[in-house]
Amino acid sequence: MRIFPVANRILIYFHREGSDFYNLWNLYCKKKKRIRLLVNAKGEKMYTVYIAKYKGDIPDFNITRVISKYMSCTDYDCGIISSPGYMNVRVGTTDEFYDKLAPAFLQSSSTNTRHIEVGIFNGMNGSNHMKGTGNTCREQHEKSIQSHQLNLITLKCKRKIDHRKMLFFMELKDNFNEILSLENYEQFLHTVTVRGVMIGSSNQSLKTYYGGSGGGSADKGEADIFMFVDDEAKNSIMEDPALNESVVISRSLHVPGDSDTDYLKSILLDFLQNSLE
């Protein structure tokens, strides 16, 4: 077993955990009275999946498979905030991207219809004009989101370029009917519980997520991590034969205090503070 410190969290390889080490670590925690295993803590565990893509890989790529597995194991009404990096620059590729991604977002462990809301930031090229339309790239993505049975989170984002590639998965606990902005983001945060955050190098585009229109092989490598709070999703990812040998899952240990969903919300807080206007 290997342990890595990350801020006030410690990541431990979940699938390499041994009972002898667990008992010794538990004893150490009790003596030091400063850290504890999440399995002995109140609340849910946070897991981190390391997702790699290599040049020449064939779709389905691991990143879309992990998203699909996660959504199919949950059933909460979900808000998704996207910081896309480089987004699609044509109407056709934008619509085809959501043709593929929207069904993954709409999956659920329940038979009930799932309510999904999606908000998208400018990324690197969202302010650029999309050829053949009167819209920017971001505006065209918003149109496509709404045409794919997804509700739109309307927001006021900065026009400056932003290279971060992030997806936030939020459980919607209460209604928020305003335009999300720097003036009201704190109220917005009171209406959600952040249950997953994807961070990495993958642009949220048809080419990077799905190999382009023809589903071609990857033209370069990528690396992403997905931090999430859900035991069933963790089991589903670990039991998927296509993912079992190609991703690494770790579990979080942390100092007493804030829950792991609070930790994920703090990432969203930082992002909104620096991205909204």
Model pTM score: 0.86
Domain ranges of the chain: 3-16+43-275
pLDDT exceeds 50 at position 6: no
Q: Categorize the per-residue pLDDT at 222 as very low, low, confident or very high, splitting at 50, 70 and 90.
A: very high
pLDDT exceeds 50 at position 39: no
pLDDT in tens, 93-141: 999 999 999 999 999 999 988 999 999 999 999 999 999 999 999 999 9
What pLDDT, on a 0 to 100 scale, did the predictor assign at position 266? 95
Mean pLDDT of the region 25-47: 51
Sequence-separated (6 or more) residues with CB below 8 Å from residue 214: none
Q: Categorize the per-residue pLDDT at 12 as very low, low, confident or very high, splitting at 50, 70 and 90.
A: very low
Sequence-separated (6 or more) residues with CB below 8 Å from residue 187: 176, 178
Grouping H, G, I as helix, E, B as strand and the rest as coil, residue 151 is: strand
What pLDDT, on a 0 to 100 scale, did the predictor assign at position 244? 81
Q: E-assigned strands of the chain?
A: 3-6, 9-13, 47-53, 78-84, 116-120, 151-152, 165-172, 192-200, 222-228, 247-254
pLDDT exceeds 50 at position 40: no
Q: Rounded to whole angstroms, how far apart are CA atoms 256 and 37?
A: 10
